[in-house]
Amino acid sequence: MQEKKIVNIPSLISDYYTLAPDIENKNHQVAFGTSGHRGSSALHSFNEAHIMAIAQAVYEHRTAEKIPGPLYIGADTHALSEPALRTCVEVLAANGVELILQENFAPVPTPVVSRAILAHNRSGKKTADGMVITPSHNPPTDGGIKYDPPSGGPASPEITSKIQNRANELIKSGIESIKRVPFEKAIKLDNVHFEDFVIPYVKALASVVDMEAIAKSGLHIGADPLGGSGIYYWKPIAEIYGIKNLEVVNPNLDPTFSFMPPDHDGKIRMDCSSPYAMANLIKLKDSYDIAFGNDTDYDRHGIVTPQGLMNPNAYLAVAVQHLFTSRKNWRPDAMVGKTVVSSSIIDRVTAGIGKKLCEVPVGFKWFVDGLLDGSMGFGGEESAGASFLCRDGSVWTTDKDGIIMDLLACEITAVTGKNPAEHYKEITEKYGTSFYARIDTPATPEQKAKLGKLSPDDIKADTLAGDKITAKFTKAPGNNASIGGLKVTTENGWFAARPSGTENICKLYAESFVSPEHLKKIQEEAQKIIA
């Protein structure tokens, strides 16, 4: 284990204002991935120029799309988030956009912005959209920013490409042309408003989770915010719903995140699915009936029971089984949504409860429409992100919500008398034990491009790890959208390979329902197949 390095915050923020991107350098350009633009000020990839240009591009997009209402904006607790928030306010306010910000510039979770947009737009007022400033669970050196259209969820590739390209054009032509006003003046303009996002969100939680059952259960609950944006939500949740034994394990905010144990490679990451990052809470597992941590913008969850940290796929399977057997007011045909690289244990649970599975490419944006119209009861990703419908079958959020996934674990434990890990043990006894892993292998840009263009006909193999291949596909079965790679399945396992959008690596996901040795064989043969 490498020794973790503590980030120099004054230097990081100074770099935000004093360093500028070289637009001819691809590494310095605005690049929207599946979760917006991310970078670091020290690396010339997340600086004032980037944020000015992105804010201006968002203004131009919403003008072209005739989005007349307010723009909700929130930021997490990364050190670069507040400077970026201030820059956005300066540009958007100068352009006359009606902005709605959290009082006192307190941190705001991603799902809270999604929920606020949807609640506003259901009220019949002028259509709203939003922005969230966060690099998710990335190290303290990083910054990130993403745009939420009126649907409240992640923007489509068409929208993000448009914003990305326009932002880079603006940087190239010179950001001096971008309209802005000084921050102190901007926040006093008539089009800039401050509201409390916390209490409306907290009061609405009873519409999506059985908060009464949680309160009556007397469960001893541990919440570790990991220094993230939901840190001020747990006290009002406990107070409003009368939950007596909810303890915030670490109530401190620190932009260096130096309280975090280093991840597997020595870097600090607020990755609530990592046993390394969650080591502090795992040590306390016997102190609580149920405990959980979240990443910095609170769109992911990590569930800890007395048995330890749950694998993300395992908890998704438990959540699916509980939700679709307890939510009697959901549409009978409401589907289970999962990404193509999520565990097939979810497929088996879905079939076992007689529901339809909708398998989509990686990215939460593929769940937005289904959650909006109620045709999808649940959408979940292998990376510990999920959301689900309100108890009456209406939309809750169209982005991942770590808070409701935390509280669902409490609900499951309260109403069934068994924690999610105990339920998963029963699931494996019924449907088989999953052996699942992801490995990253080096790949040249040429190899990545080739992988992204594979067709099922390119795969000549008939068997995988001794089993007959049952399917080969490059488009997701649920919506026929490209998965950006290839998936091959058998009765006892599968693999999926896709190139990384940001690094020169190929991501290889694989799963076996036979043994760890069988999983290894799948991985070895998969690497030969895609070579």
Rounded CA-CA distance 342/312 in Å is 9
* Contact criterion met (CB below 8 Å) for 98 and 69: yes
The yes-or-no answer on residue 136 being catalytic is: yes
Q: C-alpha angle with apex 457: 454 to 458, nearest 5 degrees?
A: 50
* Contact criterion met (CB below 8 Å) for 101 and 192: yes
CA 71 vs CA 33, 111, 203, 353: distances in Å: 22, 15, 22, 41
Pairing between β-strand 308-309 and β-strand 301-305 as defined by DSSP bridges:
antiparallel
* Contact criterion met (CB below 8 Å) for 432 and 511: no
SS3 314: helix
Six-digit token string for 357: 């599975």
Q: Give start and end residues of each alpha helix (H) in 344-473.
A: 345-352, 368-373, 402-416, 420-431, 445-452
340 by Cβ neighbours in 10 Å (0-12 / 13-18 / 19+) ranks as buried
In single-letter form, the type of residue at position 442 comes to P
In single-letter form, the type of residue at position 232 comes to Y
Q: Which of 279, 298, 269 is nearest to 384 (CA)?
A: 298
* Contact criterion met (CB below 8 Å) for 134 and 296: yes
In single-letter form, the type of residue at position 28 comes to H
From the candidates 41, 81, 136, 342, which is the catalytic residue? Answer: 136
CA 68 vs CA 63, 100, 499: distances in Å: 8, 13, 38
- Residues annotated as catalytic are 136
